[in-house]
Every structure is written in structure tokens, then in C-alpha cells.
Amino acid sequence: MDQTAFIQNIVIPTIQILVVVLILPLAIAYLQLVERKVLGFMQVRLAPRRVGWHGLLQPIADAVKLLIKEDIIPEKAERFLFTLAPIATVIPALAALAVIPFAGAPFTIGGYQVNPWITDVNVGLLYLLAISSLGIYGIILGGWSSNSKYSLLGALRSSAQMISYEVPLGFAIIGVMMLSGTASMVEIVRAQKDAGVWFVIPQIAGFFCYFIAAVAETNRVPFDLPEAEAELVAGFHTEYSGMKFAFFFLAEYTNMIVVSSIATILFFGGWLRPFPGVASLGWLENGWLVLGPLVLGGFLGWLVDQRSGTGLRCMFAGGVLGGLLGCAVAITDAGGLAGMSVPAVSGAFWFFLKVSIFLFLYIWFRGTYPRYRYDQLMALGWKWLIPLSILAPIATVIPALAALAVIPFAGAPFTIGGYQVNPWITDVNVGLLYLLAISSLGIYGIILGGWSSNSKYSLLGALRSSAQMISYEVPLGFAIIGVMMLSGTASMVEIVRAQKDAGVWFVIPQIAGFFCYFIAAVAETNRVPFDLPEAEAELVAGFHTEYSGMKFAFFFLAEYTNMIVVSSIATILFFGGWLRPFPGVASLGWLENGWLVLGPLVLGGFLGWLVDQRSGTGLRCMFAGGVLGGLLGCAVAITDAGGLAGMSVPAVSGAFWFFLKVSIFLFLYIWFRGTYPRYRYDQLMALGWKWLIPLSILNVIATGLVILLRG
């Protein structure tokens, strides 16, 4: 890598990251001061004004206080996890800012081009949703590790709340992705520029659902039940003090900025001015020409009000006069100011102005709305927002097919009646991410069934299921990152082709990743030994206690379908999908038509089993017949007797190997059920948080290092 590329690709993004990490805490400290000032104004009381002029140094005093405050850890807390929780909350919030574009036009510093974003990826929106949802794990971890009933109840509330509002939030953005045809944050804004209109106009219902769900996701008023002081002392952070306590609030305010930025980009044109398609309003491009005099006039008027005791009359009058002056300068292009072309400055101005309006709405809600009751919160999410958010994308176009739509059952297309048929319904370049997203939606049916049954057993089963899903979703996600790094794609078809090119199944370099994936997948499907959500010895039947008939059958249909889906994903990611064993070994090409071996093996075993049934010899004849049949099949395949092994039927042979591998995984599910006892709840949580998550993260780091060292 030459010097220019090194500076462009490594140094500049690193400096951008440091700027964000260093400036953001200071910005959030003063955002809290603004919040306290605005709330004081709304409630007709004095806001902080003792430290510095009108309280301007109050955030510095608060930061010093938190730094020197004693760090208390409860005696019976899980010390490591207790310390890890606030860090696990704040890191995803900061990481989400990496794909936020603050303006549209790059600028130059010292001859090097600097983009007003850290990185732009074609799945930026999916990355944002994924990384933002990780913050909940820090809250749950903090509540559980504190060994306090108030903290635990706050954490459980937070997990149920997050799950309830994650669905409408996800559905709300589908319409935007459909309109723009991309998940890149930069391209979504450019799509609004090409359309000449902000997407909030055609997607008003989607924006409504998104913003309400986003407020709930950030645990802000009126959805701040996880830290309700009237009931839970301080909820999930009851036992925290000092900088650990500050980290939770740093994460909360960072998440407010992130969701406000996402709303700005998806629905309000990001860095675009209002009415981007109206050429006669081009003077708005440099909108700071209007806002600058408005703010200055308002500030001078406020100073007059402070001295004369005239309320806020002079402030409003000064703001109006300043705004009119700014409009006059901009419209007439006095001094050529409005005609200046500084796209990076004007874009950043409009972006941060829109984000500031959303942040003001957060503060306004806090000073206006009372806290919801828990039943009101759940009813709003499940009875109103979810149906509305589902209707919004349906009104745009029919939503994507379910999880099996992107599973490739073989590698080669075949022809029927002169038409080519692919052995998959669709192949998209984010198929793996789509699979993870669509598969995780099943948990909402379990939670909805448990909550709506109005039964303590059903509700406990649903809560267990939500905590279990959240605990094992992380290692499952990290486990597949190594495969994506090796293959360089998220397309299910291309991942298999990458294994063919490499000549080896990815389970060999990713054995730790496969181990984490499969254990987490068994837990995700609520199968033994992770079937605590329906533990009959404790909860009668758990979340489906009150169900019968076909409704009861639907839960089991979903469970077994999920088993097939996760087995198919494991087959594709780690075991070569439709590829035969040892795809890089040419001398084993006779394995391509593996059904030549399996067919005689199964037939011999079946005939031996019939003999066993009649003679009462146990299973001896079955095993003997299977071995003889298998040997016969190998002989036919190796010698190519009758030219059978040399037949080229890739669709059949690919489907054979795919379904054989999936069947082996399904057998493992059954084997586990007949072998392992059910885990205790503390064992289940410890396995997820103490073992699988660290191992899956180490696997990603090790994979990255190997790829880096090998160039």
C-alpha cells in the first residue's frame, strides 16, 4: 500500500473516528445542559445558572463530579459482567455513527479528499439497525449482574420493550428501502435528491411508526419504564455510580443522536435543503444565512430581556427581525453570499439543524408527557404500531418472501419445457443478513402469544424466550461474520461458490465459528437443552399453555420450520451447501453422484431391518445390510460401472448433498432431545454470556488477523 492510499484509507478514517469519540462526550454534556435549560423554561423555573455564566460550565462540573465519585460494586454482583455492561452499552452507540453521512460533498485538506462520513457501505442501514440493537445487551447484562431485584426487573422490562418496538421500527424503514432501492445511507439521500422530494411525504405512516418506536428504543419519556424511579428506584442502573453510571447516559444520548440522524437521512433528505426539487428556492442552499441573523437577533433580544425584565418579548422580536434580514440577504444574494458554493458546509448545516429539531422533540416529550403504564406501552406497540408499520410497506409493494426464499438447494439451474429454473427462489447480495433478520422475527409471535394469554405461565415463558433470544443472538451473529470475511459476500449462493473456489468447506478454518453458531441456533429454536420457554415441569407448557387446536399446531410448525432453516444455513455457511465432500480433491470426483453410495446403503439397511423384524435379531441384519449396500455403492461409483458415476446431473447431485447434510443436522436436534437434560436458567445465561460471546468475538478477531497477514 503506497503512502497516498495509506493516508486516504487508514489515517483519515482513524482521525475521523478519534474526532467523533473525543468531541461527542463534550457535545452530549452540553446537550444535557440544553435539556435542563429547556425543561426549566417549560416548567417556569430556574435552570442551572450557578457554575459559569448562566451555567455554561455546569457540564464540566458534572463530569468532574462523576470522575471523582466512588465506584461502588455490590458484594454479590458478577464483578466482570457488572463492569462490562456499561461498556457494552456505549460501544454499539458510538459504532453506529460510522455510517452516518453528515453532508453530501467531500472536501479537501492538505491535498487529500475527506468524505463527511467515516465509511459508506451498501448495507449501511442494515448495519445501523443491527449495531443499534446491540445496546440492549448492556442493559440486560447490567441488570442481571447487579444481583438486585430492581435492576433485574428493569432489565427484563427493557428487553420486552426493545422486542416490542423493534418490529415496527424495522417495518417502518422497509418502505424507504423499497423507494430508494438501496440500503446505503448516502444513496438513500441521493435517491431523495433525484426524486425531488423528501421520503417523509410518501412514507408519512412509516415515519410516524419509526419515530415513536425510536423514542421507545432509547428508553426516553414516555417510554422510560426500565428506569422508572417511582417503582424500581432507578431500574437497570440502580447499583451503578461514578463513570459506570455516566456511561449508561452517554449511550442513551448517543442513541438519541443516532436515531435522530437516521430519521433525518431516511425521511427528511439528510443534508438536502427543503424542497430540493424547486429551483426557485435555491437560495435556501446556504440556509445558515437565514439562521445566523435569526439566532443573533434572538440572543441580543434575550440580553435586553434579562436587563429590563420584559419576559421574552425582545427575544422573539429580535429573532423575527434577524430572520427577515437573513431571508432578504439570501433572496437578493447581497454580497454574493447566497450564491457561494460550499456544499460541505451547507449540507452539514441542514443535517445538524434537522437532527437538532428531533433532539428538541425528545426534550419536549420529557417535559410534556407522563410515563406510560406497562400495559399501555405493550398495547401501543403490538395493537397499533406493528399493524400500521406492516401496512405501510404493503402499500408500497408486496414484502419479501420468508426465510426459505434465499436458501439455494443446489448449485446448477435446470431446464423444464425450455425454461431455466434456479434451485432457489431468489438470490440477493444481502441474503445472509436477510435470513438473520427474518428468522429473528419469530420471537415476536412467542412474546405476543405469552403476553396476550393473560396467564402467568404464558407470560413467564415469553419473558424467558425474549431473554434467551437476546443472549444467543449475539454469538450467532458473530459466528457468521468469519464466513462473510472469508467469502467477501453475504449472498448465500456466492458463499458456497467461494468454498468451491477455496477447495475446502469453511467449517475447517471456522470450526470455532461453527461451534458457536450451532449451539446458539439450537437455543434460538427453543430446542432441548434450551427449551426453558416451554418447560413443562415449571410452566405447564410455557408461552403456548393456553393454546389448542390449529393455533397450537402453528407454534410447532414454526419450530420445526426454524430447525430446517438454521440447519440449511449451517450447511451453506460451513459445509459447502450443495458441494460434495472434499470439493478440491479431483480423485474423489466419484462422490459427485453420492446417491449411488447412499441408495444401496439405505436399501441394504432396509432389507436387513425387515429380516430383523421377522427373526427378532435386534438390528444386526440392518447394520450388516447397510454396510454391504454401502460397499456395493462405493464399488459402483469408483469403478463407474455402467457409466453411472460419470453422469452429469449437477442439479440432482447438488440437491442430494444439500438435503443429506440438512438431514444430519435435523438428526442432531433429535439426538440432543433424547440425550441432554434441560439447562437451569443460570446455566443457560452463563453459557451464552461467559463462553459463547467471548469465543465468537475471538473467532472474528483471529479470522481478521489471518486475512490481514495473508494479504
- Please spell the DSSP secondary structure of 116-178, one letter per residue: SSS---TTHHHHHHHHHHTHHHHHHHHHHHTT-HHHHHHHHHHHHHHHHHHHHHHHHHHHHHH
Strands 419-421 and 112-114: unpaired
Which residues in the chain show pLDDT less than 70? 1, 228-234, 337-339, 341, 388-406, 410-412, 414, 439-444, 535-541, 590, 640, 642-651, 711
Q: Is 23 helix (H, G, I), strand (E, B) or coil?
A: helix
Could you give the C-alpha distances from 557 to 405, 468, 525, 564, 676, in angstroms and in order? 17, 20, 12, 11, 23
CA distances to 130, 212, 399, 490, 511 from 562, rounded to whole Å, are: 21, 31, 20, 20, 22
Helix (H, G, I), strand (E, B) or coil at 670: helix
Cβ pair 612, 620 in contact under 8 A: yes
Name which of 649, 477, 442 is nearest 554 in CA terms. 442
Beta carbons within 10 angstroms of residue 324's beta carbon: 14
| CA separation for the pair 473, 469 (Å, rounded) | 6
Q: How many CA within 13 A on the CB side of residue 608?
A: 20
* Alpha carbon distance 137, 144 (integer Å): 10
> Which H/E stretch holds residue 109?
strand 107-109
Sorted by sequence, the CB contacts under 8 Å of residue 554 that are 6+ apart come out as none
pTM > 0.85: yes or no: no
Contact 662, 408 (CB under 8 A): no
Cis peptide before 408 (omega within 30 of 0): no
Which tens digits make up the pLDDT trace of 668-709?
999 998 898 888 878 888 888 888 888 998 998 898 888 877
Q: Which residues 6+ apart lie within 8 Å of 165 measured at CB? A: 212, 213, 216, 217, 223, 381, 385
pLDDT of residue 233: 63
Closest Cα to residue 223, out of 189, 259, 196?
Answer: 259
Measured in residues, the chain has a length of 711
Distance (Å, rounded) from C-alpha 129 to C-alpha 115?
22
Distance CA 684, CA 532 (A): 9
Q: Terminal CA-to-CA distance of the chain, rounded, Å? A: 11
Answer for the pair 494, 486: CB distance below 8 angstroms, yes or no: no
Task: Provide the grid cell at 455.
Answer: 396467564
Q: Where are the alpha helices (DSSP H) in 333-412?
A: 343-368, 374-379, 386-396
Q: Are 266 and 225 within 8 A, CB to CB?
A: no
Residues 6 or more apart whose Cβ sits within 8 Å of residue 321:
297
Give, in order, the Cα–Cα distances in Å from 676 to each of 71, 144, 682: 42, 26, 16
DSSP 3-state of 588: helix
Closest CA to 351 of 275, 287, 279: 287
- Which grid coordinates belong to 121? 457501505
CA-CA distance, 288 to 281, in Å (whole number)? 14
Helical ranges in 398-490 per DSSP H:
431-440, 442-452, 456-487
**C-alpha cell at position 20:** 467523533
DSSP 293: H
Other Cβ atoms closer than 10 A to 201:
11
CA dihedral 66, 68, 69, 72 (to 10 degrees): 110
Q: How far apart are CA 229 and CA 237, in angstroms?
A: 11
Cα distance between residue 700 and residue 694, in whole Å: 10
